[in-house]
Structure 1
Amino acid sequence: MKVLYFEQKITLKDDYPQPKSGEALVRVRLAGICGTDLEMIRGYMDYTGVLGHEFVGVVEKSNNYDLVGKRVVGEINAGCGRCTYCSSGLERHCPQRTVLGIYKRDGAFAQYLSLPEKNLHTIPDSISDEEAVFIEPLAAAFEIEEQIRIQENQKIAIVGDGRLAQLIVRVLKIKNKNITCFGRHQNKLHMLQKMQIAAKMGISKDDEHTFDVVVEATGNESGFSDAIKLAKPRGTIILKSTLASKGNLDFAPAIINEITMVGSRCGPFRPAIEALASGVVKVNDMVSAVYPIEEFEKAFEEAKKPTNIKILLRP
């Protein structure tokens, strides 16, 4: 089968063996390139293997016959199923876990992938393939409200205007109206303004230390500094970026202002699926282009461009 294999650089292999793990075998229909994939190429997680973790596909083989032929998305963390984390529903923190396209498990930039049946979620017909690719990162956006309780009168800042930041805004605005997004790209900020979200290019003096909750979703170190600058004393910062940088971050202002920091990663799939199926969250405007897997070099070039939002691959 065809895959995008990463070992210091990405190459297209057309003779890679299909997964034979005893798990569900999924034929991938579409896969999305995200910020984590770009960080993996720069050295994050020191990974070798097939990249990709945002996908939609069709189950071709499974011990659960009800899944065969169904269109699915999949949770990316596969735990051991025996430890205390797994027994409490926190497979994403299992010490023995594998992570699709990120850690010890081949990913979705391939014609086929495998995952445990319990990781798979069937998709209703009302959700297109293009929309379904967003379910994994959309679930990560829903995770914020699983971790902290945001009061109706609290001010929220989103630092960043890219793929994940756009999804976070779409989720948080369901219940919260006082949201400001700080970005660097006029076209992306315009997308937010069309949703009646306050969007700013840069931080003014009047913005500093005025927000109760700040979500950092830039994918770069400067985003952390901006989040510190925006959070009020004893405010909360949600950290969403995964960075391969070895640079030094200054935590002193966070300590002085007694800021609470919350690392936030994967999230619940069911709310994400329901939000797309009901139309409460719309993502069609976020697809910039779709490329066949053979044109991966062009796809990754486009994914790196700040003017684009989401680039999809068709294996």
Structure 2
Amino acid sequence: MGSDTTMNAAVLHGPNDLRFEVVERPIPKEDEALVAIAVNGICGSDIHFFKEGRLGPFVVDRPYIPGHEAAGRVDRVGASAAGIREGDRVAIEPGIPCRRCRHCKTGRYNLCRNVRFLSAPPENGTFAEYAAVPADFLHRIPDTMSDEEAAFAEPLSVAIQACNRAALKPATSFVVLGAGPIGLITYLTAVAYGAGPGIIVDLNANRLEFARSLSGVQTLNPVVDDVVRSVVDATDGGAGTVFDCTGSSKAAALAPELAAAGGVVVLVGWPEVANPEFPLETILEKEIDVRGVNRYCNTFPAAIMLLSERRVDLRPLISHRFAFSSVVDAFSFAAGSPSETIKVMVGATGA
């Protein structure tokens, strides 16, 4: 633990150069609260920054603190911060918009061109003992919810946004491409919406096995399965909705082939290339709606409700836990063992 003016933090200096350091503790502005961080989940984007030093347009060109799946307790409140008190347990919504542009004013603040997203370089994130966050982007959690569950509010928000963008209805057949954390959470969220039957597709046999143990879902592996034929047969002509949670250009190109005529393709994963090949003829012929997901907006209250009522139970996704003092080891393990990990949690205590 640092002094009253300093704190311990995980600082990323460049690819594969994460250091546990003492840094200056942030001072909350008048509309902010200082949150003592209890736990962080390691996101796939954190691993991209750790391994490659970049993700899409964001580049690690100076030392910064990663992390954005976090929960904690309010330590201090700014003079004009409203709705939050010292001692409140909170989940942190990490995308801070300008609140002035037309997107913010119409409620789609995730499209704000001036959004500050904690952990998107150069914005510091939450792998630290403290973070200063605007009070209206802190969401109180019930006493019955653990800090780890609260940290899941952020990735669950991505899944809720994806289902909302799909306008997902009960009994809609769906396919999820990708059995990583976001894919699994999207599947479980779609089930909570009443959709089904659902199918998960992935190349990783270990993750598919985990998916089956989690929910008994039908799974397909392109290495051994004819994915298009299997989906068409299982859904009577194609899935009503296809979620691509991989960011793979090949998966994005496959998604319209799996969708029913008049179906919806939702692109959730950030693309690995700027202009992936897309089967435009299939999209036109089948009148498929292709919809993008840019993080989330207005989803945290629903995420906290789903978690607190265990309508979406994400606790089984936690595959490994590390103490905060071992955060460098946690990143190295998560980056080096993708087949063995689902969600790695880093907190005040750990295995």
Q: State TM-score, norm by structure 1.
A: 0.91
List gaps (5 residues or longer) in structure 2. 1-6
Matches within 5 A, 1:57-68: 57-63=72-78, 64=81, 66-68=84-86
Corresponding letter in the other structure for 1:133: A
Match of 1:309 in 2: 342
| CA deviation after TM superposition for structure 1 residue 199, in Å | 1.6
Quick one: structure 1 residues 221 and 298, their matched pair in 2 at CA, closer, same or farther if it must change by over 3 Å?
farther
Matches within 5 A, 1:149-164: 149-164=167-182
Give the distance between the partners of 2:123 and 2:262, measured in 1 at CA. Answer: 39
Give the distance between the partners of 1:13 and 1:298, measured in 2 at CA. Answer: 10
Matches within 5 A, 1:150-229: 150-174=168-192, 175-194=194-213, 195-202=215-222, 203-204=225-226, 205-206=228-229, 207=231, 210-229=238-257
Contact 1:2 1:12 in 2 (8 A): no
1:241 matches 2:269:
yes
What is the RMSD of the two structures over their aligned residues, measured on CA atoms?
A: 2.2
Give the distance between the partners of 1:117 and 1:153, measured in 2 at CA. Answer: 38
Among 231, 235, 241, the residue aligned to 2:259 = 231
Give the distance between the partners of 1:111 and 1:84, measured in 2 at CA. Answer: 35
SS in 2 for 1:311: strand
List gaps (5 residues or longer) in structure 1. none
Among 240, 262, 266, the residue aligned to 2:291 = 262
Give the distance between the partners of 1:94 and 1:155, measured in 2 at CA. Answer: 32
Contact 1:137 1:164 in 2 (8 A): yes
Quick one: structure 1 residues 151 and 133, their matched pair in 2 at CA, closer, same or farther if it must change by over 3 Å?
closer
Match of 1:55 in 2: 70
| CA deviation after TM superposition for structure 1 residue 234, in Å | 4.0
Residue deviations 1:19-69, cap 9 Å, x none?
A: 124121111111011111122332111144211000011111113484211
Q: How many residues align?
A: 314
Give the distance between the partners of 1:278 and 1:13, measured in 2 at CA. Answer: 36
Give the distance between the partners of 1:192 and 1:154, measured in 2 at CA. Answer: 20
Tell me whether 125-134 or 234-243 shows the greater mean CA deviation. 234-243
Quick one: structure 1 residues 152 and 72, their matched pair in 2 at CA, closer, same or farther if it must change by over 3 Å?
closer
Corresponding letter in the other structure for 1:123: I
Identical-pair percentage: 25
Among 246, 269, 283, the residue aligned to 2:314 = 283
SS in 1 for 2:103: helix
Tell me whether 263-272 or 115-124 shows the greater mean CA deviation. 263-272
Corresponding letter in the other structure for 2:318: V
Give the distance between the partners of 2:274 and 2:114, measured in 1 at CA. Answer: 29
Tell me whether 25-34 or 100-109 shows the greater mean CA deviation. 100-109
Give the distance between the partners of 2:273 and 2:195, measured in 1 at CA. Answer: 35
